[in-house]
Structures are given as C-alpha cells and as structure tokens.
Amino acid sequence: MRFTYKKLWKLLIDKEINKKTLCKMSDISPTSVAKLGNDGNVNTSVLLKICTALHCDIGDIMEIVPDDTAEPSAEHDKPVIRDNAESRIEPKTQR
C-alpha cells in the first residue's frame, strides 16, 4: 500500500489554485510540493498546513492505494525472520 495525492491536484484544479499559490497559502516549500507531486513522503505538518489553507480534511487531499505491482511474489508472502544478536541466548559454559 502507498499514499497518493491525486485528490490534492484535482482539488487545486477545481479551486483554480496553482502550485506556487498553494506554497504561499499554506506556507510550505516548493520542495514539499515537488515531493507531493511524486507521491513522496512529507511531514504531517505539511499536510496539516495544506488542509488548513484549503479548508478541507486529510481525506480530501490524499488516499491509500495498492502498490503498482501486479502479483505479489511467493517470496514476499514468506514471514521475515530476523537474526538479532541481542535476543539470542548464549549457552552457559561449564566451569
């Protein structure tokens, strides 16, 4: 699963707001807008500023969608076993 911000771009089109205006309205950087354009990770404070500026809810600007992979591989379905040295119990040595 991943996040997509397609709803944000549709909302901006409907409100006739461009990206530069969004930056000014919400006091966010152009870098953050670029990350959103690539469906990248941004800080939740950025999302809050956008929602506040646009008077909308988080669900109005983003959604969770399935990954683009067509079929999960059998390797992906296997449980992950981690070898953590701190969790191993070492046998006591005889004196």
Residue 91 lies in a domain: no
Q: From CA 33, how far away is CA 66, in angstroms rounded?
A: 22
User: Do the domain assignments include residue 82?
Assistant: no
Segments forming the whole domain that contains residue 68: 2-77
How far separated are the first and last CA of the chain, in Å rounded?
54
Q: 0.85 cut: is pTM over it? A: no
Q: Specify the length of the chain in residues.
A: 95
Closest listed residue to residue 54, CA positions, set 3, 94, 95, 14: 14
Residue 83 lies in a domain: no
pLDDT at 68: 77
pLDDT given for residue 91 in this prediction: 59
CB 29 within 8 A of CB 23: yes
Averaged pLDDT of the chain:
85
In a domain, 88, yes or no: no
Is residue 77 pLDDT above 60, yes or no?
Answer: no
Give the CATH number for residue 34. Answer: 1.10.260.40
